[in-house]
Structure 1
């Protein structure tokens, strides 16, 4: 399997000529002879949904688009040949690829995918939002909501987990990835939601308790990471 980090929370994943594209908001490149492509958009925020980068595939019969429910009002559905709108906690199968949508602590979905012999989880905006401007009650709600959503994944074997490590949260940006690893024990964890501030990830291994998980760090846009 091949994984490329595009930007922010965007990733390109390939196996045997089949492609998964997560939250792309920048250019990407795939061969013209690809077998299939599934574009996932977790929600409508501009840092996760930018259709100008993939709308050229809208009429391609080999391309499928999996969008969260909140995106529905932002698109012309008649222009997309293979469109799948998912609410939280739904299941979908495209060819041999199995998809489950989970919730978020902001808008839209997170996605768990069986991709041939591997499993992947893309968090979207499912994060432990610990903002310094929040009061104690607000912080407790954010923690409760994040942990409750993660608990729904406890029976999943996740090979590759894309989890937010948001530099804007400063020292609290490591809360989500540490709790995810502690609770779910993914084989590999990959940080995202960087806003291009890759310096924040420079010494990430010093802030993350990996246990039996492996860390693939992100250092730049368009980085081939696997």
Structure 2
């Protein structure tokens, strides 16, 4: 797998048979192999996860399918499939399962080419100290855990998981719970608002002792990673 970090929560994953693009709304895209099918995923309609600019890709890559959360109400392509939370669909050779986000839309679990790839969207343990009431934080915790528990113990080859610097000391909660409740081989933090140092802070913390070697450090947009 060839993985490119594009911006915020956007990554591309180039596999043997196809290319996957997650949550693109801006940033410089790699040049993809036009002989491979391109699948464009959008987890929800928030401006930092979706923009209708994705439909321009069809001009360059006619062999394309858009897989959009059903809270996204607009499309400019006949090659669009909508999907809701807690659904399973088969598109070509992609097995796609969704989880309900703890914010809006869905998280994706995609199985293709004997690989299992997870993209969280905005599914995260959104604990906001000083902003939410204790009851609101407890509700958010339970909603997140309930979603992740549906894939508890799942073998995942590649995962993209939020690590949000705005959460202060609670920045690690969702990432940590995900890693300790799934069998994930390679994890990429996302949604960190260009606070690249946060990844190293997590890896150096005692919380990550059991999984730090599985976490990839991102240092810049456009960074390329290759995983066998």
Taking structure 2 as the reference length, the TM-score comes to: 0.91
Aligned to 1:22: 22
Q: Distance in 2 between matches of 1:220 and 1:171?
A: 24
Which piece of structure 1 moves more, 191-200 or 164-173?
191-200
Mind listing any 5+ residue stretches in structure 2 that lack a counterpart? none
2:34 maps to 1:37: no
Report SS of the residue matched to 1:70. Answer: coil
* Number of aligned positions between the proteins: 221
Q: Distance in 1 between matches of 2:87 and 2:25?
A: 25
2:95 maps to 1:98: yes
Gap change, CA 1:62 and 1:209, over 3 Å in 2: same
Contact kept in structure 1, 2:12 and 2:22, CA below 8 Å: yes
Q: Distance in 1 between matches of 2:173 and 2:99?
A: 20
Contact kept in structure 2, 1:67 and 1:85, CA below 8 Å: yes
Contact kept in structure 1, 2:202 and 2:208, CA below 8 Å: no
Aligned to 1:65: 66
Which piece of structure 1 moves more, 132-141 or 106-115?
132-141
**Among residues 75, 83, 94, which one is paired with 2:80 in the alignment?**
83
Report the CA distance between 1:32 and its aligned residue. 5.4
Q: Distance in 1 between matches of 2:98 and 2:196?
A: 28
Contact kept in structure 2, 1:23 and 1:40, CA below 8 Å: yes
Report the CA distance between 1:219 and its aligned residue. 1.6
Contact kept in structure 2, 1:181 and 1:210, CA below 8 Å: no
Residues 193-208 of structure 1 mapped to structure 2, 5 A cutoff = 193-207=191-205, 208=207
Q: Distance in 2 between matches of 1:22 and 1:175?
A: 23
Aligned to 1:115: 112
Q: Distance in 1 between matches of 2:138 and 2:84?
A: 26
Taking structure 1 as the reference length, the TM-score comes to: 0.91
Aligned to 1:177: 175
Mind listing any 5+ residue stretches in structure 1 that lack a counterpart? none
2:44 maps to 1:47: no
Report SS of the residue matched to 1:202. Answer: helix
Aligned to 1:4: 4
Contact kept in structure 2, 1:201 and 1:219, CA below 8 Å: no
Cα RMSD after superposing both structures: 1.7
